[in-house]
């Protein structure tokens, strides 16, 4: 089980690849604000393994909303509440989550786990990332080089 912020979900939705999550996670929880961000076109149908959860207002959430957007804030607060890892790609949000001792993974981590479990080949990952970048996913060249070094 894992919590997710919106960026990875938006990319997977746009590319119709939610299976990359279901391959490696039994359940993905998302806060209501994350769902609203993912459903910006008002036409998304989430697969059954993704569940929307209401995040209770508390001091942590209030403080997070002072420095992060609502979706990231709710995702981090939910990860703390449920004591679960978090899928998050934004640099600032990742830093905050790490400071709260939340185990984090990003889109590249999701792809890597699919690769390790033989759901994706290196070529399929390259093709996926090319499409993701064309759809607006931003990733540094250095990070990509490092990622592909880890895939033999």
Q: Quote the tokens at residue 91.
A: 């640099």
Give me the mean pLDDT over the 48-76 stretch: 95
Using CA atoms in the order 11, 87, 82, 94, what is the torsion angle rounded to 10 degrees? -130
Question: Could you say which architecture CATH assigns to the domain 1-152?
Answer: 3-Layer(aba) Sandwich (3.40)
Enumerate the domain spans of the chain: 1-152
Band of the pLDDT at 44, cuts 50, 70, 90? confident
Q: Quote the tokens at residue 35.
A: 């769902």
pTM exceeding the 0.75 threshold for the entire prediction: yes
Share of the chain above pLDDT 70, in %: 100
Mean of the per-residue pLDDT values of the chain? 93
DSSP string, 22-85: HTT-S-EEEEHHHHHHHTTTS-----TTEEEEPPPP-HHHHHHTTTS-HHHHHHHHHHHHHT--
103 backbone φψ class: left, alpha, beta (φ>0; ψ -120 to 50)? beta
Strand (E) or helix (H) holding 118: none
Q: Quote the tokens at residue 135.
A: 């759809």
Q: Quote the tokens at residue 119.
A: 């759901």
């Amino acid at each position: 089980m894992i919590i997710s912020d919106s960026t990875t979900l938006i990319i997977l939705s746009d590319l119709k690849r939610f299976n990359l999550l279901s391959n490696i996670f039994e359940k993905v929880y998302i806060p209501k604000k994350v769902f609203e961000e993912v459903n910006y076109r008002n036409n998304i149908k989430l697969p059954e393994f993704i569940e929307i959860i209401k995040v209770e207002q508390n001091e942590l959430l209030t403080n997070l909303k002072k420095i992060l957007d609502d979706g990231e804030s709710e995702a981090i607060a939910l990860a703390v509440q449920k004591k679960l890892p978090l899928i998050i790609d934004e640099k600032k949000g990742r830093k905050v989550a790490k400071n709260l001792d939340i185990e984090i993974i990003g889109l590249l981590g999701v792809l890597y786990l699919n690769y390790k479990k033989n759901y994706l080949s290196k070529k399929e990952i390259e093709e996926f990332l090319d499409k993701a970048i064309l759809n607006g996913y931003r990733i540094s060249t250095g990070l990509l080089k490092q990622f592909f070094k880890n895939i033999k």
